[in-house]
Amino acid sequence: MDLNRRTVIAGAAAAGIAATTLGGTAHATGGRKPVKELFGKLADGTKVYRWSLENGGTRMKVLTYGGIVQSLETPDRRGRYTNISAGFDNIEDYVAKSPYFGALIGRYGNRIAKGKFTLDGKSYQLSVNDGDNSLHGGAQGFDKRVWDVEPFTKGPDVGLHLYYTSVDGEMGYPGTLKVKVTYTLTARGDWRIDYEATTDKATVVNLTSHVYWNLAGEGNGTIEDHELQIAASRYTPTDSGLIPTGELAKVAGTPFDFTRAKAIGRDIRAGHPQQVMAKGYDHNWVLDKGITSRPEHIATLRDRDSGRTLKIATNEPGLQFYSGNFLDGTLPGTSGRTYRQGDALCLETQHFPDSPNHASFPSTVLRPGETYRTTTIHTFGC
């Protein structure tokens, strides 16, 4: 947490202020034991629970369905809390309508061309759910599974361990994959995600989180005034199906240059052929740092009106920036307001899309005896 945010929260608490927005209240920092409540039921009667966490001035609600972050609240520069993640207020909409709002993504985040890849000389056909391609693990990816959840408190931190076992052949993927994802809210108010997975057969894995952010508040209009900076001098251009061509193109001199902070809307309608195909930004940025042993800062998002900032650190080599191009005004969110094109954005840390079909891309292969581990940290400020 930065000094400004720490001062806002501490000052509000000392003065007994209950600054509110959308029903929120400013609280002093300090972790609270996660609280569980029934959120709804699936058509087959399976119960879906919602876990509420609070620490360091950040509040979070997580569903057992899809590991979904249903809401995440932080204060603005005046101490007023707002939910800054898009989502629904009922399980039915998550099942029937959700464009991956807040979800855990697997087995493979992003796209695999025609849902096909070859590993160790054997070809695999995956579930195809995005035109001719497989997207975010297929028609029944990890976002549509009910996870086992175990709450924890560890020193000043609070969080959830989420568990799911994907059986051999699920959505066409080889190997039984045992997955553990840990959501931690730290004493600083950071949200840390630690991904782990093991397999009993060679497979491919690329896990990520698909939260849609609007730092002005969920349902509060466009993100085009948000300023974004990405530590990447190259990106992966795509074909018309949003599958990487294999090129690592320079961002310099193009609308894809976010090496210095700029408003997202400044170049979003520049007419670049890549933007025309994607209806905006929906591309993987090749992070300059590459794969690292520890998370390193790679992106900063800022909303000047509220003062909120989001800084992201990861050990992953890529970042998918999606500017909410396919939000069409038909989805009412938790505030009751509908989401239009560009009303939220995603910053998905990852290996590259379609890596199993590009030998030059960082490998996503996981073999028996190995453990898949990646970490992403979200730091909120104001």
Which are the catalytic amino acids? 210, 348
Q: What is the DSSP string of 295-321?
A: -EEEEEEE-TTT--EEEEEESSSEEEE
Residue type, 28: A
**Triad 40, 107, 88: Cα angle to 5°:** 30
Q: Are 254 and 236 in contact (CB under 8 A)?
A: no
- Do the beta carbons of residue 207 and residue 340 sit within 8 Å? no
Interior/surface letters 262-301, b for 16+ CB within 10 angstroms, e for the rest? eebeebbeeebebbebbebbbbbbbbeeeeeeebbebbbb
Number of other residues whose CB lies within 10 A of the CB of residue 330: 9
Amino acid at 185: L
> Which CA distances in Å does 237 have to 91, 133, 253, 372?
36, 17, 15, 27
From residue 32, alpha-carbon distances to 56, 153, 273, 373 in Å are 10, 8, 49, 27
Residue 168: both structure tokens together: 């051999």
